[in-house]
Every structure is written in structure tokens, then in C-alpha cells.
Amino acid sequence: MKDVSVWLLVAALAVSAQSATAQDALLSVELNKFETAEDGGCQAYFLFRNQTGKSFEGFEMSLAILDRSGVIDRLLSVDAAPLPIARTTLKLFAIPEIACTDISEIVLHDMASCRPQNEEETDCFAFLDLQSKTNAALVK
């Protein structure tokens, strides 16, 4: 009986260690700041922190931009690739025809591409961590 208990304890510790590693292996997407564009639209600055242990040659997000009333104003497709291993990457995306102050929320509703280098497409939602330092929320 002791052998079984020891084996169960070792298995539980191994699963716990794998879970902690998986949680640490995140790709964080931070909406860092908004800036008014010359045409009156909005420039969105995103920081991508890749702690997954893999470079990404494909990383394309489809975002829903919600206005002050919470109504979808538009869909925006942004390509953030490449995302190198263990690096923070800054990307700037234009959100035309809407003032930054009129954006209440940005919803990541689909990943058109999430492809680690030399691998097949994968589901990024499991290891994405979304954050916002603006007045607009960034959510899945």
C-alpha cells in the first residue's frame, strides 16, 4: 500500500510541475497605449511578451472594436508576426475612423493564424494572457 501511495504522490507532483510550467509559458498581449492619429482615428500600441519557448512565424488576430455603448464598431485583423522567443515586441496598429476615447473594449474573437516556427497551426487561446493599460479593456 505504501508503494501505491508513494507512486501517487510522485505522479501528483509531476502533474503539478507540468501545470506550473504550462502556466509560466504564456504569450502576453498588452494594449499598452492609445494615441490619436493625424486623421482623427486611433493608433493602438501593443506589447507582445513571448515566454512560450517558441518563436511564432504566424500570429494574426481578429479583433472586434466596441464603441462607448458596447456596440461592435468594426472588425480589425492585425498581423503581429514574427514573435521571437523570450522577447518583448512592440507593434503599432491603426484603428481608423474611431477616436481612441470612443473605444470601450477590444475583443479577441478569433486567431486567424497562430503558428510556431516550423510547426503546424496551434490553438493560442490556451496560453494567451490579455492585459490593457488603457481605458479600454482587452478580453477574449
113 within 8 A of 68, measured Cβ to Cβ = no
Q: pTM for this structure? A: 0.80
Class of domain 25-139: mainly beta
73 within 8 A of 66, measured Cβ to Cβ = yes
Instruction: Report the C-alpha gap between 35 and 45 in whole angstroms.
Output: 8
Q: Helix, strand or coil for residue 104?
A: strand
Give the mean model confidence (pLDDT) for residues 104-115.
96
The pLDDT mean for the chain works out to 87
Strand partners, 46: 31, 91
Instruction: Report the C-alpha gap between 80 and 68 in whole angstroms.
Output: 26
Counting residues of the chain whose pLDDT is more than 90, the rounded percentage is 82
DSSP state of 83: B
33 within 8 A of 133, measured Cβ to Cβ = yes
Report residue 1's pLDDT band, with 50, 70 and 90 as the boundaries.
Answer: low
39 within 8 A of 74, measured Cβ to Cβ = no
The domains of the chain are located at 25-139
Q: For the segment 29-74, what is each residue's pLDDT rounded down to a tens digit?
A: 999 999 999 999 999 999 999 999 999 999 999 999 999 999 999 9
